[in-house]
Amino acid sequence: MDKLLIEGGRRLAGEIAISGAKNAALPILCACLLTREPLVLDNVPALHDIGTMLKLLAQMGVKVEREGERVTLCAADLGEPVAPYELVKTMRASVLVLGPLVARCGEAKVSLPGGCAIGARPVDQHIKGLQAMGAEVNVDHGYVLAKSPRLKGARLFTDMVTVTGTENLMMAACLADGETVIENAAREPEVVDLAQCLISMGAQISGAGTDVIRIRGVASLHGAQHRIMPDRIETGTYLCAAAVTGGDVRLTGTSAGYLDSVVDKLMDAGCDITSEKSPSFEAIHIKAPSRLKAVSIRTAPYPAFPTDMQAQFMAINAVAEGTAIIRETIFENRFMHAVELQRLGADIRIDGNTAVVQGVARLQGATVMATDLRASASLIIAGLVAEGETIVDRIYHLDRGYEKIEQKFAALGANVRRAK
């Protein structure tokens, strides 16, 4: 199993380009199921999760062509609308085929995602929404079976803010009969990116980016071309890596506008962050002090602080001056990185969904284990400032969400190597 070897103590400096967003690309790839015509997507990152989604779509009869960062998908003739357990279990986002398949084919059979390292993560809200749109939904032998000759527009209310739930129901509603209103909708920028792609395919959607999204169903959608938005979590992760090393880093092809809450916290920690923007170019520049000040965070749906940045902020707080309180309100079991950070010498106490991080003067390199995608990122960030060598084991998690990670860190002057 691959490992990452990190020699700590180097200040990051230089410039790298941020990739397209995994969490925008995954639902947008599924949008191809809504039309017989080709969907051309640019800025698609080369990540393991993207490969899994393309495999799932290809298995259903979608023609997939991939050339660098461009992916062309054509779902002219679909086979069985089935997403098998073998693929869904490796990636929860596979459930995003459910809405488009029922809308286009009138039926779908999609495996339940099952448990995952960061919590139970059920899909009851996706199911409840489809039922409200008239679908007959049963769960049988671990599969969601949904049927509806034509979905009907409805007023939908999700019990909690769910990102993929909102995306699934928004896609389903595009081909429904009449108007659908999704209340308590997720406002994440990735939901907006999906809506923009669907609109360019002919969908009638308003309100994406607010908590009420209205979709007027149409008889069919057509082909389109769309560029995937930059990855705000990758952006935030490199900002944290620069911050913790007292670095001076420029990130291109990304925008601070997608991560105000993260940028604010890094500024509170003492960093100087500036944005550059012209019609054809965007970048963020961070200059960090030699030691950060501790910053407390509380995760919540967008535009509040993202749960996908919580682990990285635990790592920077581990070596900051002062004490930080970290509250995780989205997932019930998302502190597994704390134990690994403690192996590097971090002083962290966990009580339920709250972590108290007392900054220490230095961390020491050690062998640690990655438990999920963002936990892995936090261990790298800690390794960059730890004395000596840190070995991060089980980095297959990282390859699910960070494109060319060693190359990007190398370009910033870090000593990060991959080993078998």
User: What are the catalytic residues?
Assistant: 116
Q: Which stretch binds ligand UD1 (CB under 6 A): 104-112, 115-123, 169-177, 409-417?
A: 115-123
CB of residue 6 to ligand UD1, shortest distance in Å: 24
Spatial CA neighbour of 246 closest among 6, 9, 11: 11
Place of tokens 């980016």: 209
Check residue 119 for interaction with ligand UD1 (CB under 6 A). yes
The mark string for 77-106 relative to ligand UD1 (x by CB under 6 A, - otherwise) is ---------------xx-------------
Q: Which stretch binds ligand UD1 (CB under 6 A): 80-88, 119-127, 261-269, 316-324?
A: 119-127
Residue from 331, 335, 402, 409 binding ligand UD1 (CB under 6 A) = 331
**Token code pair at residue 68:** 């660098």
Q: How far apart are CA 226 and CA 201, in angstroms?
A: 9
Provide the sign of the torsion angle of the four alpha carbons 185, 188, 194, 199, taken in this order. positive
The H-or-E segment that residue 242 falls in is: helix 232-244
Check residue 308 for interaction with ligand UD1 (CB under 6 A). yes
Spatial CA neighbour of 351 closest among 325, 381, 388, 376: 325
Spatial CA neighbour of 149 closest among 138, 133, 167: 133
Between 261 and 342, whose beta carbon lies closer to ligand UD1?
Answer: 261
Residue from 32, 123, 355, 385 binding ligand UD1 (CB under 6 A) = 123
Binding residues for ligand UD1 restricted to 26-45, rule: CB under 6 A: 26
**Token code pair at residue 145:** 């079976």
Q: How is 91-141 classified by DSSP, letter by letter?
A: -GGGGGGHHHHHHHHSEEEEE----BTTB----HHHHHHHHHTT-EEEEET
Check residue 310 for interaction with ligand UD1 (CB under 6 A). no
Residue from 42, 86, 124, 276 binding ligand UD1 (CB under 6 A) = 124
Between 3 and 128, whose beta carbon lies closer to ligand UD1?
Answer: 128
Between 359 and 401, whose beta carbon lies closer to ligand UD1?
Answer: 401
Binding residues for ligand UD1 restricted to 164-183, rule: CB under 6 A: 164-165
b/e burial code for range 360-372 (CB count within 10 A of at least 16 → b): eeebebbebbbbb
Phi-psi region of 407 (alpha: psi -120 to 50; beta: other; left: phi over 0): alpha
- The contacts found for 196-199 with CB under 8 angstroms, 24 or more apart, are 196/226, 197/28, 197/31, 197/39, 197/41, 197/224, 197/226, 198/31, 198/34, 198/170, 198/171, 198/174
Give the chain's end-to-end CA distance (angstroms, integer).
6
Q: How far apart are CA 370 and CA 392, in angstroms?
A: 6
The answer to whether the CB of 312 falls within 8 A of the CB of 237 is: yes
The answer to whether the CB of 270 falls within 8 A of the CB of 293 is: yes
Q: Which stretch binds ligand UD1 (CB under 6 A): 82-90, 155-163, 320-328, 361-369?
A: 155-163
Residue from 35, 43, 307, 390 binding ligand UD1 (CB under 6 A) = 307
Residue from 111, 148, 162, 254 binding ligand UD1 (CB under 6 A) = 162
Residue from 53, 60, 102, 163 binding ligand UD1 (CB under 6 A) = 163
Between 207 and 303, whose beta carbon lies closer to ligand UD1?
Answer: 303
CB of residue 402 to ligand UD1, shortest distance in Å: 13
Between 22 and 250, whose beta carbon lies closer to ligand UD1?
Answer: 22
The mark string for 236-275 relative to ligand UD1 (x by CB under 6 A, - otherwise) is ----------------------------------------
Binding residues for ligand UD1 restricted to 190-219, rule: CB under 6 A: 190
Check residue 382 for interaction with ligand UD1 (CB under 6 A). no
Q: How far apart are CA 371 and CA 198, in angstroms?
A: 34
Between 308 and 340, whose beta carbon lies closer to ligand UD1?
Answer: 308
Between 162 and 312, whose beta carbon lies closer to ligand UD1?
Answer: 162
Between 190 and 403, whose beta carbon lies closer to ligand UD1?
Answer: 190
Between 331 and 402, whose beta carbon lies closer to ligand UD1?
Answer: 331
CA distances from 65 to 28, 38, 56, 202 (A): 15, 10, 14, 23
Spatial CA neighbour of 384 closest among 357, 418, 409: 409
Q: Which stretch binds ligand UD1 (CB under 6 A): 40-48, 124-132, 143-151, 341-349?
A: 124-132
CB of residue 401 to ligand UD1, shortest distance in Å: 8
**Token code pair at residue 45:** 């990152």
Instruction: Give φ, ψ of 370 to 5 degrees.
Output: -80, 135
What residues line the site for ligand UD1 (CB under 6 A)?
23, 26, 92-93, 119, 121-126, 160, 162-165, 190, 307-308, 330-331
